[in-house]
Amino acid sequence: MCYFKTFDPTVPMTYLLCVMSICVFTANPYLQLCALFGGTVLLLCIKKKKALKLLALCAAVIAVMGGTNPLFVHRGLTELFHIGKDPYTLEALLYGLSTGCAIAGLLIWFSAFNAIVTQDDILAVFGKRMPKTALVISMILGFIPKLHDKYRELLHAQYGTGATRRKSLRRCASLFVACLACEAERVMDISLSMKARGYGLKKRTRAQRRRFRKSDGAAIVFSVGLCVLCFVLIGKGRLDYWYYPRLSPNGFDPLGVGSYLLLCVAPLFFIVKERTLWRYCPARN
C-alpha cells in the first residue's frame, strides 16, 4: 500500500471517489467489468489473502442476482427456457448479472477505500480548511469499530459470569444499550480531554506532515480528467446500454471504456513501478 502513501492524501481520496462515482451511475457492462477488474487487482495487492473472503462474497452476490432476476422479471425476447409458464430470458439474466457486478464493484472499491484512506488522511485533507469538522468526522468514523469491540468485550464479560449464551433480541438489545452507555461515557471523557488540551480555542491549526507536490497535482488532474471525460461521454449517450427488450448493440465506446479502464488500473502502474524499484534497489542487499 506504500504506493499510495507516496502521494498527498488528497490523491487517493480523489482517485477513489472518481472511480466510484462512475461505478455508481453506470449500467454499462463494459464499464462495470473495468471497475470489477481494476478493483479486484487493487484489493488483492493491498489485502492479499484477506481480500479473498470479500471477493467470494462478491462472486456470490453476482451469481445470486444473475440467477434470481429472471425468476421475477420476464422481460426480454431471447427465451432460454420456461419455468412453469414463465419464460427465463437471456436479457433478464444479463441484467441481473450486471446489477450484481455493480454492487460487487462498489463493495470492492469501498473496501479499497477503507484500506487506503485512514482517518488521519481525512484529517489531513479537510483539517486545514475545516479543522473542527474534520476532527468530528474522523472521530465518528472511529466510533463504529470501537462500538463493535466494546460489544464483544461486554459479551465475554457476561458469559464469564454465568449469563446465558442464548442470543435473544431482548438480550442483544440490552447489551447494545449498555454498549452505547459505555461509549457515551468514553466520548464524554474524551471531550473533557479535548477541552483540557485547549480544544475550542479560536485559532486551531493543523500540522501537515507532507507538502503538496507537483506530482500530486498531476495525479489529481489525471484522475479528474478521465472521470470528466467518462461523464461527458455518458452525457452524450455514447456509453448508454440497455437490456430490454433486446440487448443493446451499442455501449462499447472505445474512448469511454478505454478511459475508464485506464482509470481503474492506474494504481497497477505504481504497484509495478514500486516493486521494480525495490527489486533493483541497491539498499535491498
Partner 1 sequence: MEILSCKELNFSYNGSDRRTLCGVSFGVQRSQVVLVVGRTGSGKSTLLRLLKKEIAPVGKLAGEIKVNGKAQRDLTLLESTQLISYVSQNPQTQTVTHNVSSELAFGLESLGIGKDEILGRVGEMAAYFGIEDIYSKSIDELSGGQKQLCCLCAAVVQSPQILLLDEPAAQLDPIGKGKLFSVLRRLNSELGTTLIIAEHDVQGAFEFCDKIIVLDGGRAVCYDDRESFLRAAAADESLRGYIPACARAVMPLGRTAFNVRQAKGIIEQSFKPSQQAVQKADEDKKAQYAVTAQNVYFRYSREDRDVARCLDLKVKQGEIFAVVGSNGSGKTTLLKVLSGILKPWQGKVTIGGKNIKAYKGNSLYRENAAVMPQDPYDLFTSQSVRNELDKTCRDMNEKGGYDELCAQFGIGGLLDMHPFDLSGGEIQKCAMVKLLLTKPQVLFLDEPSKALDPQAKAVLGQTLQSLSQQGRTVIIATHDLDFAAQYAHTCALFFDGKAHSCAQSREFFARNNFYTTDASRIARNVFPSAVTVQELEAAVRSGDRL
* Footprint of partner 1 (CB under 8 A): 49-50, 118-120, 123, 131, 135, 138-139, 142, 153-154, 156-165, 174-175, 177-178, 181-182, 185-186, 189-190, 192-209
Tell me which H or E stretch contains 80. strand 79-83
Residue with Cβ nearer partner 1 (174 or 250)? 174
Q: How far apart are CA 28 and CA 90, in angstroms?
A: 16
- Cβ(19)–Cβ(109) under 8 Å? yes
Q: How far is the CB of 150 from partner 1 (least distance, A)?
A: 8
C-beta of 75 vs 132, nearer to partner 1: 132
Least distance to partner 1, CB of residue 168, Å? 13
Q: Which residues of 165-195 are buried (b: 16+ CB within 10 A; e: fewer)?
A: eeeeeeeeeebeeebeebeeeeeeeeeeeee
Distance in Å, CB of 203 to partner 1, minimum: 3
Cβ count near 210 (within 10 Å): 12
Check residue 169 and give left, alpha or beta (phi > 0: left; psi -120 to 50: alpha): alpha
74 vs 146, beta carbon nearer partner 1? 146
Residue 208 beta carbon to partner 1: minimum distance, rounded to whole angstroms: 6
Q: What number of CA atoms fall less than 13 Å from residue 189's CA on the CB side?
A: 6
Residue 99 makes CB contacts below 8 A (sequence gap 6+) with: 65, 69
Kindly tell me which of 59 and 194 has the beta carbon lying closer to partner 1. 194
The residue among 85 and 165 lying less far from partner 1, judged by its C-beta, is 165
Q: How far is the CB of 123 from partner 1 (least distance, A)?
A: 6
* Rounded-to-integer distance, Cα 137 and Cα 260, Å: 30
CB of 154 to partner 1, least distance (A): 5
Closer Cβ to partner 1, 199 or 244, answer by number:
199
Question: Dihedral through CA 121, CA 126, CA 132, CA 137, nearest 10?
Answer: -60
